[in-house]
Structures are given as C-alpha cells and as structure tokens.
Amino acid sequence: MSVKIDVRNLSKIFGRKPKKVLDMLKKGMSKDDILKRTGHTVGVSNVSFEVNEGEVFVIMGLSGSGKSTLIRCLNLLNKPTTGEIYVDGDNIIEYDKKQLKQFRQKKVAMVFQHFGLFNHRNVISNVEYGLEVKGIPKEERYQVARDALASVGLEGWEEKMTYELSGGMQQRVGLARALANNPDILLMDEPFSALDPLIRRDMQIELLELQSKLRKTVVFITHDVNEAFKLGDRVAVMKDGKIVQIGTPEEILSNPSNEYIEDFVRDIDRSRVLKASHIMFKPTALLSIKDGPKVAVKEMETNGISSVFVVDGERRLKPRFPGSVTMNS
C-alpha cells in the first residue's frame, strides 16, 4: 500500500515561547517538569509515523496523552511547533492560506466527539453545509447530501431537526456531512465516546461496513482499547505526548513493548483480536477420495499425524465425510 500521511518529528507545545522548550525536550526533560519550570504544555513530542492509503489507523491513549492534539495537527487546526506532515507527498505545514483552505475542503474531513451540528438547521442542510460553502449548486448538493445520508442509514430523515434525533443518529449526521465532501482522509476524534454502549457498538460496526465499501484513509482517536483493537488495521499507543508503540492489534497484544503497554492491554477482550485465521495452518497431507484405507494409514505414518483430510479432484473437502480420516491408536 502507498503511504497517504507521513508525519516526521512532529512536536506541538502550547505556551508563549514554545521554540525554547524544544531544547528541553531534546535533553530528555519530562512533560511535567517542563510545565513546572516554564508553564508550557507539551502536547505532542517528536512523533513520527505513517498512515497507508485506505487504512484505519487508530491513535489510542489515556486522557492527556496528546492524541487529540495530534489529530488536530493533521489538518492544522493545531499549528505544529516543529516537524513535517506530508499528505500525498506535499508538506501541508508549508501551505499558504489558499492551499490550506483547498486541502480542508477537498482532501480531509473531520468528525468530532460532540457532533458539531447546527441546531438551527435540519438534517439535510447540516449535511450539505460543506458543499454550500464550496458554492455547489443547490440541487446538486441536495442530491449528494441525500446519498450521504442513505449511506449511513438515515434515508427519510432529511427534513428532521437535529434535536429530534438520538445521539447515535446525530453522530450519523456528522459522519454523513464528512462523507458528503468525498474526502480522501477522515479524521475522527473520539466520535463514539459520548454514545451509550449499545449505540456505540452499532456505530463501530457501521463504520467498518462503510470502510469496506469506501476504503477511505481513516485516522481514529479513542481512549478505549477494545474499540481501538476492533477498528484499527494498526494502532499507535500514546503516553505523555509520545508514541510508545505502533503495530497491528495482534502485534501489540502478543509483543507489548514495555510495562505500560502490558498494563494497557491487560483487560483487552482477546476474542476481538485473535481470530481463527491466527491458529489455522495449511494441511501437509491430503487424501484423494479414490484412495483406500491403506493409503490413508501410510500418509499419516509418513507425516507423523493422526488424521488426514479427504478431498475430491478439485481439492475440496468431501461433504459426506466428517472432514478427515482419523487413525485410532
């Protein structure tokens, strides 16, 4: 897969003289010590990672870890103190105002935790808002917005006011508004954390179903390890503004990089991560349906196994057999 987002040595420091704090970070001074000494807050500290095109990349961490600060750097809502952010090979930090406006309108869209909807607008006008800002003709943007609502299961709700909808439905409107702009990249900042557990689970499933069809590049923020491992193709775990480990859910669960990661994944529901494919193996011995018992016994003895699969001429398991022939001791 090609790299869509390439973040290099990114830091974000909040305060009056952030540049002066960079030397303290390079010397290894902690986030807490910097705050005590200078009054500056280290949001992100020297972070580097890549996001592949069409990937769901989850950034996970506890409150204050820097994950929301980081995702806001990816569309420059937070201007980084130092570092580079390449999207499709362009360093967006170097964009002028016009380029940044086009980037936000055409290439990236954000879904917020608290929906960010306009209560004075109905559902359809909320979804088409971004298209309206672009100057898209009314009939065209209305149709695009309707299609986006249909894609998130809200067909028929176009004329309702947002306050008439449940929390889960309001979040669907926020997602439809992002999709209506047809962005390459979706930035999702804890979009489901304000929802009830059952609605949250439904939205997770819906996001996975949408992603299987649309194949967007998604950067998803969460503090919930189960949610991270369910949604993420890869997961980055943050602590104190730094990325501690990046890997697939299975890699992080199987090979935690330090005690912090071990504690973080201790209570993870492993059934959400480990799949049948992880323990499957390709059979080393197969028996043709035309072979007899002696051939079966010989095959099992040769391979040191107690059972062998029976297949037809097209190497398909025969349905009338229990799946294999077993040698009794």
First-to-last CA distance in the chain?
Answer: 50
In the predicted model, what is the mean pLDDT of residues 16-24? 90
* φ/ψ of residue 126, rounded to 5: -65, -45
DSSP secondary structure letter of residue 65? S
Q: Return mean pLDDT, the chain.
A: 87
pLDDT at 276: 57
Using the predicted structure, report yes or no on whether residue 79 has a pLDDT greater than 90: yes
Helix pair angle (18-26, 31-38), 10° resolution: 140
Looking at mean pLDDT, say which of 18-22, 57-61, 298-302 comes out highest. Answer: 57-61
> Quick check: 315 pLDDT over 80?
no
* Domains, in order of start, for the chain: 3-118+184-270 (3.40.50.300), 286-326 (no CATH)
In this prediction, residue 326 has a pLDDT band, given cuts at 50, 70 and 90, of low
**Cα–Cα distance, 64 to 55 (Å, whole number):** 25
185 in helix, strand or coil? strand
Give the tens place of pLDDT for each residue, 273-283. 555 555 566 66
Residues of the chain with pLDDT > 70: what percent? Answer: 90
> b or e along 101-126 (b: 16 or more beta carbons within 10 Å of the residue's beta carbon)?
eebbeebbbbbbbebebeeeebbbbb
pLDDT digits (tens, 9 = 90+) for 82-114: 999 999 999 999 999 999 999 998 899 988 876
| 117 vs 123, more confident | 123
Cβ atoms of residues 55 and 218 within 8 Å: yes
The one-letter amino acid at 185? I
